[in-house]
Structure 1
Amino acid sequence: MTDYERPLSFGLSLDPDARAWAYTRRLARTAENLGLEHLAVQDHPYQPGHFDAWTLIAHLSAHTDRISFLTDVADLQLRPPVMLAKAATSLSVLTGGRIRLGVGGGGIPDAIASMGGAARRGPDLVAFADESVGLLRKALNGDSVRLDSPYHHIAGYQAGPVPTRPVELWLGAQKPRMLAVTGRQADGWISPLNIYVTPQEVPSRQRIIDEAATGAGRDPRELRRVYNVIGAIGGGDGPGLVGEVRRWVDTLTEWTVVLGFDTFVLWPVADPERQLALFAGEVVPAVRERVEAIRSGR
């Protein structure tokens, strides 16, 4: 059993479809009104039908008041780290601390190359991402950033603005070397969808993160663990977790107290408004209650 006993939080993934921005904005407002903590926006800018993630987040943040926003995940190969930190801290100041920065190395090399990115792969990608995360941390903290390496040439940038609430840096990863980067440097792990990293595969990933964190002198319990959960609540067909409310409650409770996740982002396969209502109104409060009862019983 691996329960890091971190506070639970829940979110909704928003589709950055450029044809449906009014509907997306309505979903964002509804999620906030229903008490969710996060709105997640994927970052695939090479998709011609997708909005830029940061532009969409900026728009939605102006139409909400409390809920936080998460890039799930920003592509490091298309977004230079110091500029990415500038965008995140700027939005954090403007929104009163409602930005969480999720980043990833970039998983679709040919698409990245189509926009002028380097399309790195394998060990080269991991080394680049590792260095980029280190630069991000410095820039998010408002430090002076200087580095001359094969990957980055930064000649002494003084980072800022610095938000009152630090921007948390979460890393999307699924393979051992990137998971180790997460443990050494990030504030949290964003797991890919539950159909890509299945529940059976999670414990081995968590161990890699924990061992890397411990080896770097960090407490693994301080890292957030985020699971992107695709599925359908209330039955029906589709990929991922499909079943009635009770199955969702049982499963998310188990994924908390056994697998170690503390944050769940819903990716509805159909009818997002109905799925959001069921998730926020029935699944989330029941999971919170069950997890609290289990933790208290210890």
Structure 2
Amino acid sequence: MPTGHENAGYRRLFDGDGLTFGVGFPITGTNRSMPDAEAEIQLAQRAEALGFDGLWARDVPTYWPKFGDAGQTFDTWPWLSHVAAHTDEIALGTSSVVLTLRHPIHVAKSAATVDQLSDGRLVLGVASGDRDPEYEAFGVDREERGALFREAVETVRALWREDFVEREGQWGHLEGDLDLVPTPTTETIPLLPTGNARQSDAWIADHGDGWLFYHLPEPTLESYLEQWREAAGEKPFAIAVRVEFADDPGAEPEPLHLGYRAGMEWFQDYFDRLDALGLDHVIVSVDTEDAERGLDRFADGVLNRY
């Protein structure tokens, strides 16, 4: 079995020198009810054909109206298996699996299954969660989420790397008489802690294979990248950005939640600046009024420049 964490998906996202781009589900923008699965798959295939490097699925167990959206609504693991069966080489990512609400043995097995079925294309964003009522619903102490997150990361790593693991935690006990099957295509699936995940930068740099963050203003992003390089060297840093194109290519930016509405010229300059800062990957959500047109416009105006 190959060693290390650099599976096919990780290499697709991070092997090059420049900025790479992925697309976040739901690509159609339907995030309060069930999206059209066939339309989502067609758009995923379109993104792959256009040269996007990743497709990213969220993990949102329940719909909390106060939060504002229900993610892509489909459960992460069967959905990514479905996407894997209808795509060829594009990386498949989670943004991000809520480790505090999932049993680590289930996470390890499900992720390894998707990784095997996709020929090593899975990159695992992992998070501590951000929807308060879910902790009570799952019987999890919200105040313990930082420790639970650390424990889960260490446990899934052990399950992938070791045979017949002996380990115990708040999730249960393994006494060396049970083994995990299947195992991933590499020694461990790459893990990207998301946001701060209730951890220190040093812990994330030491235990993560990269860092996945939300949209950040450019001065803040520059500061984060400087701190990250000091702590983690060349491990990758990725963010998510909402992109909405104005009809006027020269239009100045208007802030949106987690992104901007602006003309193509501004977005070209913006992503050039992010590339110059040393950012490694961007997960974009495009115009949901006409998602296919949004993907095409982004590929023609931005993606094809890299």
Smaller-chain TM-score range? 0.7 to 0.9
Q: Which residue identity is paired with 1:30?
A: R
TM-score, with normalisation over the residues of structure 2?
0.79
Q: Which residue identity is paired with 2:63?
A: Q
Residue matched to 1:30: 46
8 Å CA contact 1:77–1:119 kept in 2: the answer is: no
Distance 1:173 1:146, change over 3 A: farther
User: In the aligned structure 1, how far is the partner of 2:117 from the partner of 2:211?
Assistant: 25
Q: Which residue identity is paired with 1:11?
A: G
8 Å CA contact 2:242–2:286 kept in 1: the answer is: yes
Distance 1:200 1:153, change over 3 A: farther
SS at match of 1:174: coil
Answering whether residue 264 of structure 2 is matched by residue 245 of structure 1, we say yes
Q: Please show how residues 191-210 of structure 1 align to structure 2 within 5 Å.
A: 191-192=213-214, 194=215, 197-210=216-229
User: In the aligned structure 2, how far is the partner of 1:148 from the partner of 1:137?
Assistant: 14
Residue matched to 1:85: 108
User: In the aligned structure 2, how far is the partner of 1:205 from the partner of 1:175?
Assistant: 15
Q: CA deviation at 1:43?
A: 0.9
Residue matched to 2:62: 46
8 Å CA contact 2:18–2:275 kept in 1: the answer is: no
SS at match of 1:147: strand
User: In the aligned structure 2, how far is the partner of 1:110 from the partner of 1:212?
Assistant: 34
Answering whether residue 226 of structure 2 is matched by residue 231 of structure 1, we say no
SS at match of 2:165: strand
Matched pairs, number? 270
Aligned with residue 23 of structure 2, among 12, 30, 33 = 12
Q: 1:112-135: CA deviations, max 9, x gaps?
A: 433x240423xx322221221122
8 Å CA contact 1:182–1:209 kept in 2: the answer is: no
User: In the aligned structure 1, how far is the partner of 2:213 from the partner of 2:121?
Assistant: 21
Q: 1:5-48: CA deviations, max 9, x gaps?
A: 84432110011652421211111111111111110011111128
Residue matched to 2:160: 140
Q: Which 5+ residue runs of structure 2 have no aligned equivalent?
A: 1-14, 65-69, 249-253
Q: Please show how residues 102-181 of structure 1 align to structure 2 within 5 Å.
A: 102-114=125-137, 116-121=138-143, 124-150=144-170, 152-156=172-176, 157-165=178-186, 166-174=188-196, 177-181=199-203
Q: Which residue identity is paired with 1:45?
A: P
8 Å CA contact 2:51–2:303 kept in 1: the answer is: no
Q: CA deviation at 1:201?
A: 2.0
TM-score, with normalisation over the residues of structure 1?
0.80
SS at match of 2:199: helix
Q: 1:212-231: CA deviations, max 9, x gaps?
A: 44xxxxxx21x121111112
User: In the aligned structure 2, how far is the partner of 1:127 from the partner of 1:206?
Assistant: 25
Q: What is the percent sequence identity of the aligned residues?
A: 26
8 Å CA contact 1:13–1:266 kept in 2: the answer is: yes
Distance 1:62 1:117, change over 3 A: farther
Q: Which 5+ residue runs of structure 1 have no aligned equivalent?
A: 214-219, 289-298
8 Å CA contact 2:124–2:191 kept in 1: the answer is: yes
Q: Which has the higher contact order (CA 8 A, sep 6+)?
A: 2
Aligned with residue 261 of structure 1, among 248, 272, 279 = 279
Q: Which residue identity is paired with 2:245?
A: I
Report the RMSD for the aligned CA atoms in angstroms: 2.6
Residues 198-207 or 34-43, more deviating? 198-207
